[in-house]
Structure 1
Amino acid sequence: MTRVSVIGCGNMGGALLRGLARTDSYHLTAIDLDPDALAAVADVADATTEDAAAAKEADIVVLAVKPDIAEHALADLDLTADQQLVTLAAGLPREFVAERTPASVVRIMPNLAAETGDMAAAATNEGLTDEVRAMLDDAGEFVEVDESLMDVSTAVNGSGPAFAFYLIDAVKRAGIDGGLDPEQAETLAAQTFKGAAETVLRDDRSVDELIDAVCSPNGTTIEGMEVLWDSDADEAVVDAVAAAEERSRELAEAFDDE
């Protein structure tokens, strides 16, 4: 059983703990100075503590704190070269972390769907071990990228859930306007996005080919797609991803100055 300590049990750290707990393959230790954060994950963690020294017993240590307190958190850690340190703070360069610990360091950008085993994550090629690969597999899907692509990965899969939630809510509101009750509209909208995503991942056809498959001539879907094709909706989404990517770069620059 792999021993995993998660330092920082907020939204992302908590989601990862819950996702890994579903597999029964890990001994999970939750570490946070906030008693409320520890209480929120007490039902899935094997141990909870405010003491960062507990991470010394882990095979994999996940640093899930905000970028601005990462250096302070690293100073409290006493890890060894046999341990693996996974950092997931946006904009936090792998090299910055590696210079402050003897542990093997890999940088990842996961998302909140780790909680249900549906995470999308990017991981740096450098520092990625088979143990960490197995952990990421248990939480969802991941790709290996050069660190130079982590800013755009942060925008696509790290920030991407918020963009997807926004679009789901728009479809939900259209359903409500048409007469569905809110619960019905939310179920249909969310499940439709879930099914569409699974189809993209499992089907050999391109996205354009899948759109064509749904759009029967003179049917209902083609009428809706004509509205989207005539709009700037796709450009707005691209701009949202670009803005998130730029912010990730700005965060990284703060560490370059230290």
Structure 2
Amino acid sequence: MTRVSVIGCGNMGGAFLKGLARSGSHHLTAIDLDPDALERVADHATETTDDTAAAKASDVVILAVKPDIAGAVLGDLDLSAEQTLVTLAAGVPRDFVAGQTEAQVVRIMPNLAAETGNMAAAATNEGLTDEVRALLDEVGEFVEIDEELMDISTAVNGSGPAFAFYLIDAMKQGGIDGGLDPEQAETLAAQTFKGAAETVLRDDRSVDDLIDAVCSPNGTTIEGMDVLWDSDADEAVVDAVAAAERRSKELAEAFEDGDE
């Protein structure tokens, strides 16, 4: 049984802990100064505490705090070289974290779908261990990247869920406009996105080939696709990803400037 501590049980840390709890094969320690945050994850954790010293007994420590307090929290941790520290703190360079601890350090960018086992994540090649790979496999899919690509990963899979929610809501509204009630439209739209995403991951065909497979000549789908192809919808999504990437870089630069 792997002993895992999660420091910071807000949205992301809480989602990660709940995802790991689904297997029932870990000793999970939830650590947070906020009693409300601990209460929200209490049913999924083996133990809860406001004392970061509890992390000393863990094999893997997940640092899921806000970037502006990462340094202070790291200063309170006393981890050994036999432990692994996984940082989820956006914009905080791996080298900075590694300089504050003796533990092996890997930086990852997950997303909230970790809670349901459907996470998309990027993990830095440097510091990544088989033990961490196994944990990531439990909560979704991940890719291994050089840290210089972490900003674009933050935009694609970190910010991406919000972009997907936006598109799901648009499709839902189309269903409502056509006569479906809101609950029906939301179920159909959300499940359609879920199924389409799973098909992309599991099918060897390209996205273009999959679109062709759905589009029958003179059918309903091709009529809708013609509207999308004639629009700037794809460019708007690309621009949204680029804007999120720029902001991720700005946050990283601000953190580095503040560290000097």
Q: Which residue of 1 aligns with 2:164?
A: 164
The C-alpha deviation readout for 1:123-180, integer Å capped at 9, x for no partner, is 0000000100000000111000000000000100011101000000000011011110
**CA shift at 1:95, angstroms?**
0.4
Q: Which residue of 1 aligns with 2:140?
A: 140
1:67 and 2:77 aligned: no
**CA shift at 1:254, angstroms?**
1.9
The C-alpha deviation readout for 1:30-77, integer Å capped at 9, x for no partner, is 000000000000000000000010000010000001111111111111
The answer to whether the 8 A contact 1:96-1:255 is kept is no
Q: Which residue of 1 aligns with 2:154?
A: 154
What are the ranges of 5 or more consecutive residues in structure 1 without an aligned counterpart?
none
Question: Secondary structure of 1:223's partner?
Answer: helix
The C-alpha deviation readout for 1:60-118, integer Å capped at 9, x for no partner, is 00000111111111111111111000001111110010011110000000000100101
Root mean square deviation of aligned Cα? 0.6
Give the share of equivalent positions with the same residue, in percent. Answer: 83
Alignment TM-score, normalising by the size of structure 1: 0.99
**CA shift at 1:25, angstroms?**
1.4
1:231 and 2:227 aligned: no
Alignment TM-score, normalising by the size of structure 2: 0.98
Tell me how far apart the structure 2 counterparts of residues 131 and 68 of structure 1 sit (CA, whole Å): 28
Residue 43 of structure 2 aligns to which amino acid in structure 1? D
Tell me how far apart the structure 2 counterparts of residues 203 and 35 of structure 1 sit (CA, whole Å): 44
Tell me how far apart the structure 1 counterparts of residues 256 and 68 of structure 2 sit (CA, whole Å): 13
1:127 and 2:119 aligned: no
Q: Which residue of 2 aligns with 1:116?
A: 116
Deviation above 4 Å: which 4+ runs of structure 1? none
Tell me how far apart the structure 1 counterparts of residues 116 and 254 of structure 2 sit (CA, whole Å): 33
Q: Which residue of 1 aligns with 2:190?
A: 190
Residue 55 of structure 1 aligns to which amino acid in structure 2? A
Tell me how far apart the structure 1 counterparts of residues 44 and 17 of structure 2 sit (CA, whole Å): 7
**CA shift at 1:238, angstroms?**
0.5
Residue 145 of structure 1 aligns to which amino acid in structure 2? I
Question: Secondary structure of 1:97's partner?
Answer: helix
